[in-house]
Structure 1
Amino acid sequence: MYRERPSPVVPGAIVWHTDRTSGGEVLPDGCMDLVWHDGDVVVAGPDTRPFTVTASPLPGVGLRFPPGLLPHLLGVPAAGLRNLRVPLADVVGPRAAAALACLDPTDAADAFEAYGRSRLAMAGLPNPVVTAAAHLLRTGLPVADVASATELSERSLHRLATRNFGYGPKTLAGILRLQRAQDLAARGVPSAVVAAECGYVDQAHLIRESRRITGRPFGELRQPGSGANRSTPLPSGSFTVA
């Protein structure tokens, strides 16, 4: 069982809860999370490949931040957390993480939002260029055009993306475009139309990109509950669950 809601206090963030009664995988989505995991609070770094989740009798609780926001709030480069799950105290130090120590899962969501709000009060919102770059990359705009639109050189855009998103703009664009494709598919849009709407050359191109990023053809990701979001694991060997 999985449920989520927009956070009213952290811009663009999503609070999520999930049962973990079976193992599975979480797909890349360009985001980073704070996660309550078996009694610990961990930072879920930006993924470039599916991340394996083990079964547990305990629930999963998290706050999923939009691309670029959590590294800004924590004051760390996202690239150093790529494909990792790291205790929050190891990222920001025990003192800065003390507010989230010894949490009960029923309190974790509220505590994460309070923590995010306090970090926002200290750090402020990220550079608008970071937010604009993520938005433009999600639309499928070529990297050169995103650099031009944000008044950056392609090299500067690559540095900005690596620090704030965890990888270069081309990688982020591929992940976000596949997310957009999954969103359209979830509304019942045929795959051929999804491919055209998202800027793929054709449906075969969409399928290749799906395999490259997730290891699965897009048809499997279309199935109900197939788990477009990182916070909701796909059970191993099944794609009918997020």
Structure 2
Amino acid sequence: MHKVDESSLGFAAPALSAARCEMWLPRASLSTLVRAVMSRDTRAVALGSEQRYNHLPATPLCSIIWYFSGEAELLEPGYPADAASPRAPLPDRVMFTGPFSRPTVSWNPGPVHVMALLLQSDALAHLLGIDPGAYVNRVVPAAEVFDGEWMAMCAAVQAAPDDDARVALVEQFLDPLWQRRRPESWLPARAYADWTRNLMMRAANSGLGRSLRQVERRIKHWAGLPLRELHGISRAERVFFDAVVAERSGRPNWSELADGAGYSDQSHLCRQTVRITGFPPEELRRRTFEDESFWAYRLWGMSEQPLRRPE
């Protein structure tokens, strides 16, 4: 896998710490199963309470999450990132999360070292025969979802000496497994929009009924979220990537970005961005570049830089 991190991309801001945040992007043979691996390690830095929140958007992806050090508490949906918000500890050291139809916020009581394997929900359903829809907006112990072979891989990752070794173990486990099981008709896709289009093509050509309602029902069964949700997340991701690229040459023009992504107007973009991320576009842009707790957005956006250069 190819690794990117904030330092290698030249990203720096006075308000941000030196916490280690890295992302590994999959090789071509795994791109229809794995979206990315993300890691964050704050053990070598002293972070204030506000800097120990973690903001994540709605996503159609499933995840395996390992906590190697430290703990996390998940805030109740809809509550702001402050000390008064109700929260609950995560259920295990190795967890599975399904797709999320809403943004999430977690908080680390102290230093933490965590890694997440981000998996395409339809591919995971194909491999394991699970229903991603049964895990929407849920975090459960990994042992509730995976068999002994998968849990052995999870244990090996937990015991590995460093993150590069952990990613190599994941790759060594998944690559031969996926090559044996991957349908030849599945096309690689980096962005949610491409993945959603591929889902629609497969659903329409499955031979099991081709009406719009049947296609939509099939997509929800495969991905866990309805087609309308997938379209919404796809458009929001496109605007987010475009805004990151625009930041290189100046402030984004939200009206132009909204029009380019197919929103009816800028207000429509704003409403949808709030629904998916919890923040309006300009605040999300500012906090992505200035707020420690938006580290996942920085990694997600900056990982597209080699593919999306400003003109």
TM-score normalised over the length of structure 2? 0.62
Gaps of 5+ in 2: 1-19, 70-92, 247-251, 301-311
Q: 1:119 aligns with which of 161, 177, 185?
A: 177
Q: Deviations over 1:128-168 (max 9, x none)?
A: 3997xx646857xxxxxx57993532222222222222111
| C-alpha distance after superposition, 1:183-202 (max 9, x if no partner) | 11111142111101100001
Select which of 278, 283, 306 maps to 1:215.
278
Tell me the SS of whatever aligns to 2:288: coil
Q: Which residue in 1 is equivalent to 2:39?
A: 17
Aligned to 1:142: none
Does residue 1:98 correspond to 2:118, yes or no? Answer: no
Distance in 2 between residues matched to 1:177 and 1:213, nearest whole Å: 11
1:234 maps to 294
Q: What is the rounded CA distance, in whole Å, between the counterparts of 2:177 and 2:186 in structure 1?
A: 17
Counterpart code for 2:159: D
Q: Say yes or no: does 1:62 pair with 2:116.
A: yes
- Shift in alpha-carbon separation, 1:119–1:147, aligned structure 2, 3 A: closer
Q: Paired residue for 2:59?
A: 29
3-state SS, counterpart of residue 17 of structure 1: strand
CA distance in 2, matches of 1:159, 1:104: 41
Q: 2:216 aligns with which of 143, 158, 161?
A: 158
- Find the partner of 1:186 among 230, 239, 244: 244
Is the contact between residue 48 and residue 213 of structure 1 (CA under 8 Å) also seen in structure 2? yes
Tell me the secondary structure at the aligned position of residue 86 of structure 1. strand
Distance 1:48 1:96, change over 3 A: same
The equivalent residue for 1:143 is: none
Residues 240 and 31 (structure 1), Cα distance of their counterparts in 2 relative to 1, 3 Å cut:
closer
| SS at 2:118 equivalent | strand
- Number of positions where the alignment pairs a residue of Structure 1 with one of Structure 2: 228
SS at match of 2:115: strand
Q: Are the counterparts in 2 of residues 23 and 53 from structure 1 also a CA contact under 8 Å?
A: yes
Aligned residue type for 1:183:
F
Does the 8 Å CA contact 2:60/2:100 hold for their aligned counterparts? Answer: yes
Distance of aligned partners of 1:198 and 1:216 in 2 relative to their CA distance in 1, 3 Å threshold: same
- Preserved CA contact (<8 Å) 1:19 1:59: yes
Query: Relative to structure 2, which stretch is displaced further, 8-17 or 192-201?
Result: 8-17
Assess, with a 3 A threshold, how the Cα gap between structure 1 residues 125 and 225 changes in structure 2: closer, same or farther: farther
- Matching residue's letter, 1:6: L
Larger deviation, residues 59-68 vs 81-90: 59-68
SS in 1 for 2:100: coil
Percent of aligned pairs with the same amino acid: 22
Higher mean C-alpha displacement, 173-182 vs 58-67: 58-67
Which runs of 5 or more structure 1 residues have no equivalent in the other structure? 140-145
Structure label with greater radius of gyration: 2
* Deviation (angstroms), 1:120: 0.6
Whether contact under 8 Å (2:41, 2:114) holds in the other structure is yes
Cα deviation for residue 54 of structure 1 reads 2.5
- Separation in structure 1 between the aligned mates of residue 271 and residue 184 of structure 2, nearest angstrom: 34
Q: Residues 68 and 240 from structure 1, CA distance in 2 versus in 1: closer, same or farther, beyond 3 angstroms?
A: closer
Tell me, in whole angstroms, the C-alpha distance in 1 between the residues paired with 2:179 and 2:117. Answer: 17
What is the match of residue 45 of structure 1? Answer: 98
Q: Which amino acid aligns with 2:30?
A: V
Instruction: Tell me how large the CA RMSD over aligned residues is.
Output: 3.4
TM-score (norm 1): 0.78
1:217 maps to amino acid: P
CA contact (8 A) 1:2 1:17 kept: yes
Find the aligned partners of 2:239 and 2:119 in 1 and give their Cα distance.
20
Could you list the structure 1 runs, at least 4 aligned residues long, displaced by more than 6 angstroms after superposition: 239-242
The alpha carbon displacement at 1:240 in A equals 8.7
CA contact 2:127–2:181 (8 Å) conserved in 1: yes
Question: Partners of 2:166 and 2:128 in 1: how far apart?
Answer: 18
CA distance in 1, matches of 2:196, 2:179: 28
